[in-house]
């Protein structure tokens, strides 16, 4: 997958420049590589197309630009939430988790850290307490 993305970006320099501009300062290469995959997988028509951009300034174009900007900001937010979940163990409301996990289907992350939630730790302690008192 990583090779395919690299090849695609080398053949599409406008897309490569566009997505690279979305990288956060301090984002590790590993985190960025996976978040970039998430962005490219879900960008649809938000990513630049080939050819020169038109300079239309009518109201319809402005409205479309505003909608595209909101969609892009939402995509960036979802990508960051997904990366935070995978690499930092962050949790979000179930509706957000369902959305970001469905958007990330097919992205393979190797060597991602694993986290245990407080609820899982408490459940383990309770289970041990119950089983040891019964034994």
The structural domains of the chain, with segments of one domain joined by +, span: 1-47+60-130
pLDDT the model gives residue 61:
65
At residue 62, the pLDDT reads 64
Taking the chain (135 residues) in consecutive chunks of 10 residues, what is each chunk's mean pLDDT?
Answer: 78 89 92 93 82 51 78 95 94 96 92 74 80 55
Report pLDDT for 53.
Answer: 47
**Alpha-carbon span 84 to 93, nearest angstrom:** 14
Instruction: List the structure tokens of 132.
Output: 């040891």
Q: How far, in Å, CA of 79 to CA of 24, rounded?
A: 11
Return the structure tokens found at 7: 């090849």
């Amino acid at each position: 997958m990583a090779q395919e993305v690299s090849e695609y970006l080398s053949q599409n320099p406008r897309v490569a420049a566009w997505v690279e501009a979305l990288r956060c300062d301090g984002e590790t290469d590993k985190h960025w590589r996976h978040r970039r995959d998430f962005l490219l997988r879900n960008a649809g028509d938000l990513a630049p197309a080939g050819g020169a951009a038109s300079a239309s300034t009518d109201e319809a174009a402005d409205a479309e630009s505003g909608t595209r900007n909101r969609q892009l900001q939402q995509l960036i937010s979802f990508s960051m939430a997904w990366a935070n979940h995978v690499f930092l163990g962050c949790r979000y409301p179930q509706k957000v988790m369902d959305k970001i996990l469905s958007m990330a289907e097919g992205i393979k992350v190797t060597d991602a850290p694993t986290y245990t939630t407080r609820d899982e730790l408490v459940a383990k302690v309770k289970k041990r307490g119950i089983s040891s008192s019964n034994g």
